[in-house]
Amino acid sequence: MRLLCQVSGFRHLSAALALLAAALSACPPGAGSYVTGKASSDGIGKVFMGREISKVMGHPGIGWLERTEREREEAPSKALEMLKLAPDTIVADIGVGSGYYAFRLAPKVPKGKVIGVDIQPEMLEFLSARSKELKLTNVEGRLGAVDGVGLPEGSIDAALMVDAYHEFSHPAEMLASIRKALRPKGRIYLLEFRAEDPEVPIRALHKMSVAQARKEFEACGFKFIESRPGLPWQHLLVFERP
């Protein structure tokens, strides 16, 4: 009510809209706070909204990302089809890693672009070299930070995160940064291993439940659209910037 009263008192509509935009640009008070404690064997000891953040898989893990069994285990080809992106979509692959998804996504957006964001320069070097090998002209790398994607405001139509979000050491700040980079009605496509399924052979902190993902993303201003079922090990969750 206090915010509405302030807005109604503005003499100019532009000023009122600026205040409203500022109020919606980040997670609400409390959602961005973290609790720290003793780290578990696979975590960093930092807890966000009841979830301990996992350790990061560094660039030495490129071999695992590029493993030949990945298609059978995760069905990435099916996941890409399930995204249903328009040919001119500008999409950021956040936590791009080796570019496994980026290189397979690029032909599906021939009039658009795939921006691979990562905080590890070694990953981006691999991405650049592989892009040249594959002669892909619509894939580019971008060095991000632990608390932001480093993309201009309103510059992307969609963001894709594949088994990466659970490793972000500053998830609240990252979601606020992604939200700023997305255009209105822009979408986040979140792929995470299913925490609800004990048969998925992945360590617990590298999984997420639908309930936990919704808790975090909705607190940070995103609207949950749907869960698209059908993958062997993962959720495909769709969120939208209002």
Q: What SS3 state is found at 96? A: coil
DSSP reduced 3-state for 74: helix
- 105-143 CB burial, b ≥16 within 10 A, e <16: bbebbeebbbbbbbbbeebbebbeebbeeeebebbbbbe
Judge whether 166 lies within some domain. yes
Whether residue 30 is contained in a domain is answered as: no
In a domain, 88, yes or no: yes
CATH number of the domain enclosing 198: 3.40.50.150
| Tens-place pLDDT, residues 123-166 | 999 999 999 999 999 999 999 999 999 999 999 999 999 999 99
> Is 119 a member of any domain?
yes
Q: Find out whether 64 and 91 touch, Cβ atoms under 8 Å.
A: no
Number of domains in the chain: 1
**In a domain? residue 3:** no
Long-range contacts formed by 236-240: CB under 8 A, 24+ apart: 236/79, 236/82, 236/83, 236/189, 236/190, 236/191, 237/189, 237/190, 237/192, 237/210, 237/213, 238/187, 238/188, 238/189, 238/190, 239/187, 239/188, 239/190, 240/185, 240/186, 240/187, 240/188
Residue count (the chain): 242
CB 208 within 8 A of CB 166: yes
pLDDT at 56: 87
pTM of the prediction?
0.86
The whole-number average pLDDT for the span 79-88 is: 97
| 26 located within any domain | no
Q: Tens of pLDDT along 34-72?
A: 999 999 999 999 999 999 999 987 555 566 566 788 888
Residue 120 structure tokens: 């590890």
Mean pLDDT of the chain: 88
The answer to whether residue 12 sits within a structural domain is no
Domain that holds residue 103: 59-240
Sequence-distant (≥ 6) Cβ neighbours of residue 27 within 8 angstroms: 172, 175, 176, 219, 220, 221
Cβ-proximal residues to 59 (8 Å cutoff; 6+ apart), any chain? 120, 122, 123, 126
Q: Is residue 46 part of a domain?
A: no
Q: Which helix (H) or strand (E) holds 223?
A: strand 223-227
pLDDT at 9: 44
